[in-house]
């Protein structure tokens, strides 16, 4: 039984590009997407009735071309459907939130295009209400067409902060200040390398122009060292490159320290064998190289699936390699000026695992004994990465701090904390019960 030739998980640039290529080659394709609109992290479309947020011109043009091709392909997208895993019989398990049940789909190929997650470094007070990720604020703006209200501080590291600031301007509430750990303006030499990527330079200049014209302060080589709750709003304490402290009283804070592939709980890539579909990853969940590379990588994955399922193939590797070099240049340009390990400087009471309220001090105590705990023991005995996010936000930081605390010991990997078995996110028991009831009820008695 095959329900569809290729099931694609994620309606971002990678998933949509892969879908269009496969449809053109004559395969049946279906996309599942956990949210209510398509577009992924960068091109997320507004929900019904909300106005769209305009992107930089180049990004807008890329999205139009992809969206038009996708609309013409007529490929169905099932929204509010979340990839759970692939069972022993090779069936894809999907939590359908609208129907409130788990569905099973038989596919010959599966492309996982689930994007990236944001990295956020812990700081004292980062768990307070009103502190979120800058990318989270961005998704909210794109879906609702509204800027977050009140005075907003954006802080952390990387070009996304500038993009979010420019989008807030377009929606009528510019951020109060941007705090950036790197100093891309001071790294002029590294920036010259970007000239080889005119599309990135044009996009970056358009955001920088907006930030400059609206006189949004961009404090570089600086970082938020702690956040405190005030009677009204939040106070961010910022240390600049000369070690001086500055205080910002705001209503909200958006933190962001880069992105990393969202590979939590994904099954490994697999060539076709008797029991499994061909499983491939595409876009930022394979390698976080940005939206343009995600489109190329979606096409590459489609080519590989075609090669394996139908004996046809395509190549997009050269473009991906070019954009990989571009990301290296950006990483050098935005490298934090202060090279000291920010995790080792955190006071013991700083929360590391927000779901389970576990602190830096808790981790130090666990690691202080003669028998160094493994990542798995830190999870099971210390409850790090044990809460509802299952380590999506804390596993990297916890593993990095464990490595820094025991430099002579083999470093734990974040997967020791997140685990490698699916489902790696909590699922409602009712969804399994509904699926079971459906399977055990004769078809003519089922009401769907």
Q: CB-wise, 286 or 358, nearer to ligand FAD?
A: 286
Q: Which is nearer to ligand FAD, 58 or 406 (CB)?
A: 58
Query: Of 22, 25, 29, 42, which lies in the binding site for ligand FAD, with binding defined by CB under 6 A?
Result: 42
Which range binds ligand FAD by CB under 6 A, 122-130, 147-155, 212-220, 290-298?
Answer: 290-298
> Rounded to an integer, what distance in angstroms lies between the CA atom of residue 254 and that of residue 131?
6
Question: Closest Cα to residue 112, out of 262, 337, 323, 328?
Answer: 262
Build a one-symbol-per-residue string for 90-129: x at contacts with ligand FAD by CB under 6 A, - elsewhere: -----------------------xxxx-x-----------
- Name the strand (E) or helix (H) holding 228: strand 223-229
CA dist 213 and 218 (Å) reads 12
DSSP code at position 283: G
Sign for the CA dihedral angle at 209, 253, 155, 51 comes to: negative
User: Applying CB under 6 A, which of residues 158, 283, 336, 391 lies at the interface with ligand FAD?
Assistant: 283
| CA 302 – CA 329 distance, rounded (Å) | 28
For residue 178, the 8-state DSSP code is: E
User: With contact defined as beta carbons under 8 Å apart, do 15 and 31 qualify?
Assistant: yes
- Nearer of residues 294 and 346 to ligand FAD, judged by Cβ: 294
Query: Do 317 and 69 form a contact (C-beta atoms < 8 A)?
Result: no
**Spatial distance between the Cα atoms of 32 and 105, rounded to a whole number of angstroms:** 11
Residue 248 interacts with ligand FAD (CB under 6 A): yes or no: no
Q: Site for ligand FAD (CB under 6 A): how many residues? A: 31
Is residue 290 involved in binding ligand FAD (CB under 6 A)? yes
What are the phi and psi torsion angles at 126 (to 5°)? Answer: -70, -10
Q: How far is the CB of 406 from ligand FAD (least distance, A)?
A: 31
Out of 6, 10, 102, 227, the residue judged to bind ligand FAD by CB under 6 A: 10
Q: How far is the CB of 354 from ligand FAD (least distance, A)?
A: 17
267 forms part of the interface with ligand FAD (CB under 6 A)? no
Stretch that binds ligand FAD, among 37-45, 317-325, 339-347, 373-381 (CB under 6 A): 37-45
- Contact call for residues 329 and 201 (beta carbons, < 8 A): no
DSSP code for 331: H
Please report whether residue 178 would count as binding ligand FAD according to CB under 6 A.
Answer: no
* Chain residues in the site for ligand FAD (CB under 6 A): 9-15, 32-35, 40-42, 82-83, 113-116, 118, 135, 138, 160, 163, 259, 283-284, 290-291, 294
């Amino acid at each position: 039984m095959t329900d569809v030739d290729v099931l694609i998980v994620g309606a971002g640039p990678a998933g949509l590009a892969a879908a269009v290529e496969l449809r053109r080659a004559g395969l049946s394709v279906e996309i599942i997407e956990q949210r209510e609109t398509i577009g992924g992290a960068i091109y997320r479309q507004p929900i019904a009735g909300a106005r769209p947020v305009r992107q930089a011109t180049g990004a807008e043009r890329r999205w139009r071309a992809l969206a038009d091709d996708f609309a013409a392909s007529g490929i169905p997208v099932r929204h509010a459907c979340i990839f759970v895993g692939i069972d022993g019989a090779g069936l894809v398990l999907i939590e359908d939130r609208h129907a409130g049940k788990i569905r099973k789909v038989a596919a010959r190929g599966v492309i996982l295009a689930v994007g990236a997650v944001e990295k956020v470094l812990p700081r004292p007070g980062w768990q307070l209400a009103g502190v979120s990720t800058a990318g989270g604020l961005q998704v909210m703006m794109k879906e609702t067409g509204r800027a977050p209200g009140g005075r907003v501080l954006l802080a952390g590291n990387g070009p996304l902060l500038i993009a979010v600031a420019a989008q807030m301007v377009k929606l009528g509430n510019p951020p109060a200040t941007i705090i950036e750990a790197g100093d891309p303006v001071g790294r002029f030499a590294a920036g010259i390398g970007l000239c080889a990527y005119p599309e990135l330079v044009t996009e970056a200049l358009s955001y920088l122009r907006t930030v400059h014209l609206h006189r949004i302060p961009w404090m570089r080589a600086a970082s938020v060292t702690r956040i405190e709750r005030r009677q009204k709003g939040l106070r961010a304490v910022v240390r600049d490159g000369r070690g001086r402290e500055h205080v910002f009283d705001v209503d909200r804070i958006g933190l962001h320290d880069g992105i990393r592939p969202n590979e939590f709980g994904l099954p490994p890539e697999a060539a076709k064998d008797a029991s499994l579909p061909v499983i491939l990853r595409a876009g930022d969940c394979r390698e976080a190289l940005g939206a343009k590379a995600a489109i190329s990588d979606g096409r590459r994955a489609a080519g590989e699936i075609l090669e394996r399922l139908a004996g046809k193939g395509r190549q997009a590797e050269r473009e991906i390699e070019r954009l990989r070099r571009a990301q290296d240049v950006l990483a050098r340009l935005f490298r934090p000026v202060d090279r000291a390990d920010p995790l080792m400087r955190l006071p013991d009471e700083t929360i590391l695992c927000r779901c389970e309220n576990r602190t830096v001090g808790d981790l130090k105590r666990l690691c202080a004994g003669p028998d160094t705990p493994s990542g798995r023991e830190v999870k099971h005995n210390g409850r790090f990465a044990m809460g509802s996010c299952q380590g999506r936000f804390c596993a990297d930081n916890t593993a990095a701090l464990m490595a820094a605390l025991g430099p002579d010991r083999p470093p734990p990997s974040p997967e020791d904390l997140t685990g490698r078995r699916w489902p790696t996110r909590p699922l409602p028991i009712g969804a399994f019960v509904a699926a079971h009831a459906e399977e055990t009820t004769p078809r003519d008695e089922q009401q769907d």
